[in-house]
Amino acid sequence: MRTALPVAVAFLSGVILVISFFFNEETTVVGKLSQELLNWIIIVGGFTLLLGIVSITRVNWAVVKKRGDGWIYRLFTILAIFVTAIPSLLSPSWSPLFGRGEGSIFDWLFNYLQAPMMATMFATLAFYIASAAYRAFRARNAEATILLLTATLVMLWRVPMGEAFLNQFPGDLPGIINTYVMNGANLAVQRGIIIGAALGAAAMSLRIILGIERTYMGKG
């Protein structure tokens, strides 16, 4: 029963959501049922977020109690979670510091702590990307040479200084790059990746609906 019930729920939910694409969601029973299932997905997603908070708190608190490696950082992680979450859940009518509006504790933490840390993280990633690009863009063979030239043109096209430089040459080089590189080869590759990802998602969804894939129950 512990195995059959989740598989049956996954099968029925998947089949209803697939069939609902062929019915009007406002006038048919199948369409209305699919909308109800989508609402339940949002509800389940909220509970998974709560489960994630409980899990990260338990894991980090266990290390803090044992004074393990990096326990001070884990303590700050726990404090950050609750200092951010609790005031944002309280009613703003109690205090202007509560809620998620302007001037609240949540707003201050987001603008002056989280946003700068996110900017720092992405700025650090830029150096790793530049390092990877330096190693990748080497003219070892014909394909690597084409990749190097294309990347150079695209990087020149994306910055004002490079665009001004390209405009010094006869012809509309920025327009040519935009038409044949970005909206041509680049878009074709993106579509291929998206189609491949969609086929993979469809295959995995079919495996879950048919009960072949059961990793969500802790089984292979």
How is the chain split into domains, by residue range? 138-220
Residue 99 token pair? 């809620």
Give residue 193's pLDDT. 94
C-alpha–C-alpha distance, residues 57 and 29, integer Å:
42
Residue 205 token pair? 């969804």
**pLDDT tens track for 86-135:** 888 778 788 878 877 787 888 888 888 888 999 999 888 888 887 877 77
C-alpha–C-alpha distance, residues 91 and 29, integer Å:
38
Give residue 139's pLDDT. 65
**pLDDT tens track for 44-70:** 888 888 888 899 999 999 999 888 888
**pLDDT tens track for 8-47:** 888 888 888 888 878 777 777 877 888 888 888 889 888 8
* Structural contact between residues 155 and 165, judged by C-beta atoms closer than 8 angstroms: no
* Structural contact between residues 208 and 216, judged by C-beta atoms closer than 8 angstroms: yes
* Structural contact between residues 139 and 145, judged by C-beta atoms closer than 8 angstroms: yes
Q: Quick one: which of 100, 127, 128, 126 has its CA closest to 114? A: 100
* Structural contact between residues 78 and 57, judged by C-beta atoms closer than 8 angstroms: yes
Indicate the pLDDT class of residue 1, thresholds 50, 70 and 90: low
pLDDT reading at 200 higher than 90: yes
* Structural contact between residues 141 and 117, judged by C-beta atoms closer than 8 angstroms: no
pTM for the full model? 0.58
